[in-house]
Each structure stands twice: as structure tokens, then as C-alpha cells.
Structure 1
Amino acid sequence: MRALFIGGTGTISTAVSKLAIENGWELYLLNRGNRPERVPDGARVIQCDISQEKEAAKLLEDMTFDVVADFIAFVPEQIERDIRLFAGKTAQFIFISSASAYQKPLSHYRITESTPLANPYWEYSRNKIACEERLMHEYRNTGFPITIVRPSHTYDERSVPLAVHGRKGSWQVIHRIMQGKPVIIHGDGSSLWTLTHSSDFAKAFVGIMGNPAAIGEAVHITSDESLSWDAIYDAIGRALGVTVKKVHVASDFLAACNPDLRGSLLGDKAHSVVFDNSKIKRLVPGFTATMRFDQGVRLSIDYLLSHPELQVEDVEFDRFCDKVIAAQSEAFKIFQS
């Protein structure tokens, strides 16, 4: 069985690439070759920028695949390109969408694949919805063999999942925790969130590769573990051996102070999510997520602390945290006086 991954070396796809190789897939990765250290042994790299469609078409012209998966398509124009490139060349096309596409705010706390898709807060999610709609149209009208996968918050050893962080990643929050400085958690910290380790995601994803029952279907892949954001930060603190000083700040206020947070908070993390994974378990019998967050985050913390190149200082975000916390503290003082 032959597969082509567009991307294949990211947070989600690296684990999928590795497991596909282990399961005997003949795997090709089409990417720009910027992360050779993440290419698993046995995978063959086709070095190309997929946005250069003519070049990609020439490199792929004599090849056919059992599966093509695009991990880096975000807007409908990229889906149009993929349809042109792979119609008639693959038995299954897997599009990686996003669970953030589900209705916000939710009308019911438990999310299934039939939960409506609507997100007025985040353009990223609306674009993913548009991509899904274009693919479903192509499937219904021409039989283009699509499968849509909706990951939720998925992490690996290179990333510490957080509620609020800056543009430069998670290190500044971790550094604040280690220094004993307060960190911001949106809301009151009690909303539920689902975090999935990439190794668990990979088990389900490889299970739908080449699976005829998955053609024409949309399915999310997540852990069954739902934790409050306070519990998530407490687990991070335990992994660091310190107590996290948590400051709860309203999501609306955070988004008003920093518009970059509007999508990821109001369109995603501010809402409690509990996923019903019955569908993926029907498609992939025996699948279950086995990496608890307290286990996975220890791997992430150990990796971060042992790789100084990932410890990128974010002065702007640090100042933002101090400013927001100080503003809220001053507001408390006004009402206490």
C-alpha cells in the first residue's frame, strides 16, 4: 500500500508518518525539506513546495496512491489545487480539518460528527468548514474519494499545550511558572478541554488509511479524557515540580486586550468540549487513546527543558501578562476600597 503525505513532519503528522512506516506502508512525503530530522527512516521525500502546482504535478505525473493526505491545506483554493492534482490518482484523499469548526457556542455539550459546523469567531475554522464543503461537493458529484478528519488540540513532545500564550510558543508561560510568576487562565478555569497526544491520534489515523468504510465520511479523533483548564495547569506544575500561580481572567476581556486571542479563545478554548468518539471506534475497532495528559505533558516538559533552542523568550507576551494581571488587580482594589 502506497501513501503520500503533503507535509508529514508537523506536530500531528510526524507521529502518523512514523506509525504508517511501522505498519508497512510505502510512504512518500511531499514537502519543502525543511525538517529532515523529523522524517522517519523508510519514508521517501519528494522535495517540493505544493503551492508550486506545475512542479508538483510533474514530479507526481507517473505516480498513483492508495492514500493521499494533506496536512497543510487551510483554504478552499488549496483544496481546488488538490482536486486537480489527485483526481484519478488516489483511492482515498484525507483532508485534515479541525474540531474548532464545530458550532460555537455549542447547543449541546457533547460533540458528535453531526454537531453543526459554524464558528463566527475564527476565520481559520470558517476556512476549514469551506474546505470540507468543497470536498463533500466533489465527492457527491464526481466520486472523489474523500475522508475528513477533525483533530482537536493535539500535541507531541515538542509542544506544551496551553490556554493562553504568545506568538513564540509555550516557553514564556513555562518560564513564568518556573519563576513563580502568575500565569493567565481564561474564564474561571473550570471549563473542560480535551488534549490528545499525537501518538494516540496516529493510531486512529493509520486505522482509517485505506479503509473503504471511511470514504465519504467525516470523523474526529480525540482522547476520551476531559480535564478542566485548572487541572491541565496543575498537571504542568507537577511535571515542573512547582505550584502554578493561576490568575483567572474573562475570555472576553483577554480577546479585547489582544485581538490575536479572539479566534483561539472565543472560537475554541473558552468553550467546554467533550467528544463522542463512537464513530472512529467503529471505523477502527480496538482504537482507544492511552496516553493520559499527566503522562504526555511530562514528556513534553522533559523535551522542552532539554532543548534550549526551543526556549524562545517572548518579551511582548510577558509584558502583556503582567499588564493584564495588574489591571485586574487594580480593578479589585477599586471595589475593595
Structure 2
Amino acid sequence: MRVLFIGGTGTISMAITKRLLAEGHKVYLLNRGTRNKELPTGAMGLTGDIEDEEQVCRLTEGMKFDVVADFIAFAPEHVERDYRMFKGRTGQYIFISSASAYQKPPSDYRMTEGTPLSNPKWQYSRDKIACEEFLMKKYREEAFPVTIVRPSHTYDERNVPIGLHGDNGSYQVVRRIKEGKPVLIPGDGTSLWTVTHNSDFAKGFVGLMGNIHAIGEAVQITSDETLTWNQIYRAVADALGVQLHPVRVSSDFLDSCSDYDYNGSMMGDKSNSVVFLNDKLKRLVPGFSAEKRFDQGVRESLAYIESHPECQILDPVFDAFCDRVVEALEQAKEYVRAGR
């Protein structure tokens, strides 16, 4: 296949690129070139700004693709732009949506592609829904060859999936666990969640590429492994060889006392129990199975992060926030006890 990825160097797209190259496909990556040093051998970089339609049309002049996938489309104007540029030039356009678009709070914890799309808590999710609606309208009215993919929480060797962190990612939480400091876990930690290694996601994604049965379809790609947040944090601590010191905190409280957008990422996503049923994916991609168990994948991620200082991004602001929350909860306990 001849493939064009818009973006192409992120957590999800990098694994897909590597898999396609290993299978002998021709892969073009269109991005601004800030991470071109990380491009896998064999990938062809096209340096440009996707927001500049004239520039992109010049870069891809005369080129047609079996598949175009946009990994950095987040709002309707992004997919409208892609539609203008690639209509008639690709056999399949893949939009990366999000499983956070599913109904929140859910009426049923079991998520399928038939679950209603509705998330009043998170603008990010509502924008993804609007993108899907535009593209499916173009499919129904003009046979625009779209496939919609809905990932959930996907990770790679450069990050550890955590339920609550600051603006600089999850490393500060890993550091707190490693140092034996109290770690905030939203809610009581028993809500169900699914994390998927990017190598497993790539298998499902590549199986949908060039697949005539995937045209006009929305497909979720996740692991079949379901964990509680308590189990996820415990697995991280076990991989570090330390004891976990959890402090479980109401998600409402965390959202109300911080400047972070936890209303969207928690109330509209991670605090809801969800279990993904991947029957549709397995029908479209026979033989698909997610093989990387979380306790295995997180050990690989932590080993990589510990050996790569550039991945060890500190977040003193979030660290201080955690300390204040822990202190406030301890003071609240003392206040209540004093009134006995």
C-alpha cells in the first residue's frame, strides 16, 4: 500500500508506521519535521504545515494514496480541510476519533460501536463527535471512503498510563510512587478501565487499512484486558519494586479545587467504568488479539523511561498540588475527629 499519515510520530502512529514498514508498505509522513530524527528507517518525510493547504497540495501534487490517516485532527474544520484536499485522491480516509466520545455517564458499562455518542463533560469529545458526523455525512451522500477508528487509553515505551497527572505527563506520578510519597487515585479506585499498548493497537489499525469491509464503519481498537485503577497503580508500584501509598479522592473534589481540566478528562472519561467489546474489530480483522498484558507493558515502559532522561519530565506544580490535597484531607480527618 501507498500510505500518507498526517502527524505520524505520536504514540499511536509511530507503532503503525513501524509495522507497515516491516510489512513492506510505502509510508509518507506529513508533519512539521520537529521529530524527524525519530522517523523509522524507510519512512519518507514530507515537511509541511497541514494548516497550509496550498503548501500541502504542492508537496503531494500528482500523488494518490491507498490510505490517508490524520492523527492530529481534533475539530470539524480539520476533517473538512482533509476532505477538500484528499477527495478523489485516496482509497480510504481514516479518522482517529476517541472512545471518550461514547455516552457519559454510560447507561451500560459495556462499550460497543453502537453505544450512543454523547459527552456533555468534555469539549474534546464533542469535537470528535462532530468530526465523525461530518465524515459519515460525506460517506452517505458522496461515498467518501471513510473509516472511523476509536482508540481508548493507548500507551507506549515513553509513557505510563495514569489516571491523574498534571500538564507535563505521568512521570511526576511515577516519581512520587518511587519515592514512597502519597499518590492520588481518583474515586475509590474500583472503576473499570482499559489500557492498550500501541503495538497491539497497530495490529488492529493495519488490519483495517485497505479493508473494503471497513469503509463506512466505526471501529474501536482496545485491549480485552480490563483493570481497576487500583490495579493499574499497583502494577506500576510492583514494577518499580516499591510499596504503593494510595490516597483515594473524590473526582468531584479534585475537579473543584484545581485549575486542571479534570471535569473533561476525569468526569467525562476516566472516572467512568467501561469495558470495551471488540467483536466488530475481530470480525473485520480475523485473528486480531491484544497480546501485551499491562503488567508486562508497564515494566517495559518504566525501563525505557529510566534509561532515557528526556522522558523524565518533572512537574513541580502538580507535585505541590498533590501535597496540598493530601494535607487538606489529613486536616479534614483531624477536624472531624476533634468533633467526636
Q: Is the 8 A contact 1:223 1:289 kept in 2?
A: yes
Tell me which residue corresponds to 1:18. 18
Query: Residues 80-122 of structure 1: CA distance to partner in whole angstroms, max 9, x if unpaired?
Result: 1000000000000000000000000000010000000000111
2:330 counterpart of 1:329: yes
> CA separation in 1, counterparts of 2:167 and 2:38?
23
Q: How does 1:127-276 map onto structure 2 within 5 Å?
A: 127-258=127-258, 259-276=260-277
Could you tell me which runs of 5 or more consecutive residues in structure 2 were left unpaired when the two chains were aligned.
none
Q: Please report the TM-score for the alignment, with normalisation by the length of structure 1.
A: 0.99
Aligned identity (percent) is 61
Residue 196 of structure 1 aligns with an amino acid whose one-letter code is T
Q: Is the 8 A contact 2:163 2:270 kept in 1?
A: yes
> CA separation in 2, counterparts of 1:73 and 1:42?
25
Q: Is the 8 A contact 1:32 1:48 kept in 2?
A: yes
Q: Secondary structure at the match of 1:295?
A: helix
Structure 1 runs, 4 residues or longer, greater than 3 Å off: none
> CA separation in 2, counterparts of 1:34 and 1:202?
23
Report the CA distance between 1:175 and its aligned residue: 1.0
Report the CA distance between 1:38 and its aligned residue: 2.6
Q: How does 1:83-98 map onto structure 2 within 5 Å?
A: 83-98=83-98
Tell me which residue corresponds to 2:112. 112
Q: Secondary structure at the match of 1:12?
A: helix
> CA separation in 2, counterparts of 1:38 and 1:266?
35
Q: Secondary structure at the match of 2:194?
A: strand
Query: Residues 263-298 of structure 1: CA distance to partner in whole angstroms, max 9, x if unpaired?
Result: 110010000110000000000000000000000000
Q: Is the 8 A contact 1:67 1:209 kept in 2?
A: yes
Q: Is the 8 A contact 2:36 2:45 kept in 1?
A: no
Query: Residues 13-52 of structure 1: CA distance to partner in whole angstroms, max 9, x if unpaired?
Result: 0000000111221111111111123311111111111111
Q: Please report the TM-score for the alignment, with normalisation by the length of structure 2.
A: 0.98
Residue 61 of structure 2 aligns with an amino acid whose one-letter code is E
Tell me which residue corresponds to 2:72. 72
Pairwise CA RMSD of aligned residues? 0.8
Could you tell me which runs of 5 or more consecutive residues in structure 1 were left unpaired when the two chains were aligned.
none
Q: Secondary structure at the match of 1:131?
A: helix
Q: Is the 8 A contact 1:101 1:125 kept in 2?
A: yes
Tell me which residue corresponds to 2:300. 299
Residue 240 of structure 1 aligns with an amino acid whose one-letter code is L
Q: Is the 8 A contact 1:14 1:38 kept in 2?
A: no
Tell me which residue corresponds to 2:314. 313
Q: Is the 8 A contact 1:173 1:183 kept in 2?
A: yes
> CA separation in 2, counterparts of 1:156 and 1:310?
12
Residue 28 of structure 1 aligns with an amino acid whose one-letter code is Y
**Count of residue correspondences:** 337
Q: How does 1:22-37 map onto structure 2 within 5 Å?
A: 22-37=22-37
Q: Secondary structure at the match of 1:248?
A: strand
Report the CA distance between 1:162 and its aligned residue: 0.3
